Amino acid sequence: MRAAIVARVALIVCFVITALPFAAMAQVDEEPVMRAGGPVEGMLDFESCVRLALHQSPYFINSGMQIEMRRLEEDDAMYDMLPDIHITSSYVVHDPATNRDNPVRMGFSMNNYDPFTAYFEVQARELMTRLAVLGHLNALSDGIYEVAKVYLKLNTLSRTAAFQDELIALAEHKGEYVHNRIDSGGATPLDARIVEQEIELARLEREQIRISQSALLDSIKSLLGVPVEQNLELDIQDADMQVMGGFDPYAMELAEVRANSIELKVSEYTQELQEYNVQMAYARYIPSFTAGVSSADAMEGGADWYVSVGASTPLWDWGERARNVTREKNRLATLLAEEEMVTLDLDSSWRAALSDMNSASTSLQLARARAELAGLKRRQGEISYHAGTITFPEYLETIEAYFEAQKDVLNNELDYSLAMLNLRHLSGHLYTSFVDARLY
């Protein structure tokens, strides 16, 4: 009777312990919640667009999920600090050769427990989580940078379109003048064809601007996670001030640029991770441990319980562990050299970006000087036309040259703004203005 009760209890314990992993798996195996883009109402400025992108952009979900996966692996490593306990049981249904009161045999065992390697694995997994965070921050930084570039380009295209509309009206006015002159013999049909072609070119340039605006709007909708068919109103007035946010590249010290550099932090963490790999290579010299507790065999009898402990290590591995240590040390030396290269490349990129901004600033000054000269010539042409010293088409040419010079100023302003934006992105000032890395 007592043996039957013990047998039932043992079977129930085995069933419960076996079912525990499946219960835990049922709790974990849930579908991740995906952020869906909702309707966007009102006009969005640059900061609002960035906040919306950080909240629902599909481009950031993958890197964010990588952090969660690395944290799960970190939890796995933490639990590996504890030994795995295995339970085994057997029940002798019928043995005609003997009549035992206890036909049940149970055992608990711990196999190949290596606490030193488990400790280093925990440290390595923590670093891999930090690397995943840096990967996510890099994705956020690049996404904000793309939104900023779209804002600057849309602002330039909007202002360029206004000048292009003036050029179209100017060409049409010139066309009316030429057609009126044909009736009086002051112009030829060839003159009319030429001016009609000029009108067509001006309209095609305007259409090209419209297409570029539409493409940029579609791209920013994609970045924000907004459906393409949804109407999106952007406040692009003073886009330069919105995007730059008071950034002064000359106030940034190189040390601050290095401190904000994601690439440099990745290199540092990768080097630290490799240091743990070296320690783990040394830890393989330490034996792993085993332990177990089991009841007496139902067929053989004997003591009630047996306790066993043991250690296991390779007796001779033909130098494999020594080669692993050397290999990991060589990798560490390579990463140290790469970190120095990353630092030098960062310094070089920063100086090159400053040079590009200064060059763009000079080009902008030249464009503004030419625009000012074109404005003076326009004024001179107006005076000369009213004085009767130049013809109306010649006067219109001075106005056309003025509008073209203004368009050139806008293009150079965009180049200068993009160069400064590149500096803000490179310095880390752009993403740190919107993202708090401590939250990850």
- pTM of the entire predicted model: 0.80
Instruction: Report d(CA 390, CA 380) in Å as an integer.
Output: 10
Task: Tell me the sheet residues that pair with 308.
Answer: 292
Domain ranges of the chain: 2-8+41-431
DSSP string covering 88-140, please?
EEEE----TT---S--EEEEEEEEEE-HHHHHHHHHHHHHHHHHHHHHHHHHH
The Cα 363–Cα 346 span in angstroms is: 26
Q: What is the pLDDT of residue 103?
A: 65
| pLDDT tens column, 47-89 | 999 999 998 888 998 888 999 999 998 888 888 777 777 777 7
Residue with token string 């068919």: 229
- Res 122: pLDDT: 87
Q: Which CATH superfamily is domain 2-8+41-431 in?
A: Outer membrane efflux proteins (OEP) (1.20.1600.10)
- Could you read off the pLDDT of 132-186 as tens digits, one per residue? 999 999 999 999 999 999 999 999 999 999 999 999 999 999 999 888 888 777 7
| pLDDT (0 to 100) of residue 11 | 42
Positions of the chain with pLDDT under 70 = 1-40, 90-106, 110-111, 289-308
User: Which letter does DSSP use for residue 428 in this model?
Assistant: T
Please report the pLDDT score of residue 15 as a whole number: 41
